[in-house]
Amino acid sequence: MTRLAAPHPDDRAAPAADAVLEVRGLKVALGPVRPVDGIDLTLRAGETFALLGESGCGKSMSALALMRLLPDGGRITAGSVRFHGAELLSLSEASMREVRGGRIAMIFQEPSSSLNPVMTVADQIGEVLVVHRALRGGAARDECRRLLDAVGIPEPDERLDSYPFQLSGGMKQRVMIAMALAGEPELLIADEPTTALDVTIQSQVLDLLAGLQARRGMGMLLITHDLGVVARMAHRVAVMYAGEMVECGRRADFFSNPLHPYSRKLFAALPAENLRGFELETLQGSVPRLDRSFAGCRFAERCPQVSARCRSEAPGWHRVDDQQVRCHLFDGRSEPWSRQAPVAAAGVVGGGDRSALLEVDGLRVHFPIRKGLFKRTVGHVRAVDGVDLKLAPGRTLALVGESGCGKTTVGKALLRLVAPSAGSVRFDGVDLAGLTPAQMKRQRAGLQMVFQDPFASLNPRMHVGQIIEEGMAALGVGADGAARRRTIAALLERVGLSADMAERYPHAFSGGQRQRVAIARALAVSPKLLVCDEPTSALDVSVQAQILNLLRELQRELGLAYLFITHNLAVVDYLADEVAVMYLGRIVESGPAAAVLGRSAHPYTRALLDAVPRIDVPPTAGAGIGGELPSPIRPPAGCHFHPRCPRAEARCRREYPADREVDATHRVHCHFPLGR
């Protein structure tokens, strides 16, 4: 092991080819903030270089700096960015426009905000074709059609004239990819290209990117916080923390033996089935503010192995075989890493009374489609089409499936946030479906919802104390204002925040802290059941671990029942007692988590599991299922899944499968269940 004289996180494991991109000493400033403070990387043709780390580490700002797309007030203060040997930082803006979108393209994190809502798909892709390939008219439209077909969009002729709001999340992401590829780039920068997508759509997008890269020989800079995506896609990995890189190496080396304490904490925070009943390891604190000077290691405040030297001296780069790491621990020898034995959670989760707290029978939610001058009903969107669920106190039922299958609508129908069309919902012995609004109000304290996006669900004009107190006052919880404020202070402490944060507004909190505020708001009225709608989908793995630990602790102490709506099957493996798999408005498989996830009987459940990128298995192309979820307006005849099912036969196209018993508690709707 030798100390490097100069910090160039390079790696001889990359494919043998000339460098497409060379970055040295890149620094970015946004006023007093330094989000990128000296990064170095080399990217070769046909290679995927993954930049990994928490939100706020500087990953996306690095990508924007490479494209020279920094926000107002942002400037590159030092460094070099060479593309095929040419210095990009010295180009005029006119010259840079010829490179940007053509030779270098970028897929942005959020397609809904990146696509122009008032332009059709053809017009948006056509802009790139005009600027970078001089294609217009019929030739441009033909090329748009070819690009949409290449990225796997069905019926591309029809989609050319669609607007973004008419497309699903997966389709919008594919349109973004088509726009990026329209200029035939040599380098593709993908900034969180699959964040918040379903596992099946994520799998299709990753397969698409890998296939296009292989055919075109593109270099790809992949920015993500998802270790599973890195394991599946990357040739080399660099870990970024607080504006600088702290580790770099080949994918295989990184996943077999992460070196930096920060990297090891990210791995330790991952949920898994074998950790059920144990606390997840967490990273306390948050990424430090980047408007300050650092005397020592930037990770020192959160590092479990910190020493006095770490606080006073910034570490240099060290080489360990083919890996490189910025840490004082590697001045001497370091033992290979292994995951520490998990810490058992106190008490037993999910024990106690097994009588049903929630019973859902034949729930339907059909939204009318009205057209014409007189708004006549011409059809229905069958969002929920006959759902049966049962949930006991202190238990967690996970409702899983792709976006558009009706999961969130089920959750909202339980709380009467949308009106059920048919069926019954019995909560604590009371049928909610037949209650008047006044009667329903008396039941709302028992059922609360934690929404997917806490920032959108928290009023930006109210401080946190007011947000939490609003529900308490509406439902008559607390003797008076002073009593409610004391309760709020205790609740904030209970969810891992401090009581003095009650005077802050939502924008002053991180994503994980806002989710804790949302949980505190739900707990303020002492509910028995929480409907958690994708509460961790957009969180970093370290923040996700904190929220999952909090949910388990609250369930253990308060006996809460959770209906956990998610597409993250790793979280389901860790948290759920029972699982219900939903497809196109109906439950297709249900039972104990170990049975449904370990001995799946429905091909759709198996496809969901196969599509999950995992860090402990080799990357596999073509996993999961292809195609899009059919429209709930015109669901397919017979089994709704048959157009996408590799096992479908003539019977599947004719008749919907009846409920079949796999064992006493495991049920499936399938004519030809797996394992039979």
The percent of residues above 90 in pLDDT, for the chain, comes to: 56
Q: How confident is the model at residue 349 (pLDDT cuts 50, 70, 90)?
A: very low
Q: Please report, to the nearest 10 degrees, the dihedral formed by the alpha carbons of residues 549, 520, 451, 561 taken in order.
A: 60
Query: Which of the given ranges, 185-189, 283-287, 629-633, has the highest pLDDT on average?
Result: 185-189
Amino acid at 5: A
* Tokens 């946190």 found at: 464
The whole-angstrom separation of Cα 17 and Cα 27 is 27
3-state secondary structure 279-310: ECCCCCCCCCCCCCCCCCCCCHHHCCCCCHHH
The mean pLDDT value for 419-431 works out to: 93
- Other CB atoms within 10 A of residue 366 CB: 17
Q: Residue 490, class by beta-carbon neighbours within 10 Å (0-12 exposed, 13-18 middle, 19+ buried)?
A: exposed
With residues binned 3-state (H G I as helix, E B as strand, rest as coil), the percentages for the chain, rounded to 5, are: 35, 25, 40
Is residue 387 in a domain? Answer: no
Helical H runs in 78-152?
A: 93-99, 111-114, 121-133, 137-150
Sign of CA dihedral 599, 601, 605, 606: positive
Strand 561-566 and strand 396-400: the pairing is parallel
State the pLDDT at residue 538. 67
The whole-angstrom separation of Cα 398 and Cα 383 is 18
The whole-angstrom separation of Cα 676 and Cα 671 is 10
Determine the structural domain holding residue 251 and report its residue range: 8-103+185-263
The mean pLDDT value for 379-401 works out to: 94
State the pLDDT at residue 92. 94
Total residue count of the chain as it appears in this document: 676
Average pLDDT, the chain: 87
Q: Is the pLDDT of residue 5 over 50?
A: no
Tokens of 524: 């303020």
The whole-angstrom separation of Cα 661 and Cα 650 is 22
**177 neighbors 112 (Cβ within 8 angstroms):** no
The whole-angstrom separation of Cα 627 and Cα 618 is 24
CATH classification of the domain holding 63: 3.40.50.300
Amino acid at 56: G
**68 neighbors 100 (Cβ within 8 angstroms):** yes
Q: Is the pLDDT of residue 639 over 90?
A: yes
Q: Is the pLDDT of residue 478 over 90?
A: no
Is residue 219 in a domain? Answer: yes
Is residue 283 in a domain? Answer: no
Is residue 515 in a domain? Answer: no
Helix (H) or strand (E) holding 172: helix 169-182
- Tens digit of each residue's pLDDT (9 = 90 or more) over 647-664: 999 999 999 999 999 999
> What is the three-class DSSP state of 245?
strand
- Tens digit of each residue's pLDDT (9 = 90 or more) over 354-377: 689 999 999 999 999 888 887 888
Number of domains in the chain: 1
Is residue 411 in a domain? Answer: no
Distances (CA, A) of 147 to 37, 157, 181, 408: 38, 11, 8, 33
Is residue 35 in a domain? Answer: yes
State the pLDDT at residue 386. 95
Query: Which of the given ranges, 347-356, 606-615, 617-626, has the highest pLDDT on average?
Result: 606-615
The percent of residues above 70 in pLDDT, for the chain, comes to: 92
State the pLDDT at residue 620. 54
Q: Please report, to the nearest 10 degrees, the dihedral formed by the alpha carbons of residues 107, 109, 112, 114 taken in order.
A: -50
Give the closest residue to 520 by CA, choosing from 542, 545, 556, 489: 489
- Tens digit of each residue's pLDDT (9 = 90 or more) over 564-594: 998 888 899 999 999 999 999 999 999 999 9
Is residue 217 in a domain? Answer: yes
The whole-angstrom separation of Cα 511 and Cα 508 is 10
Q: Please report, to the nearest 10 degrees, the dihedral formed by the alpha carbons of residues 202, 205, 206, 207 taken in order.
A: 120
Is residue 118 in a domain? Answer: no
State the pLDDT at residue 453. 75
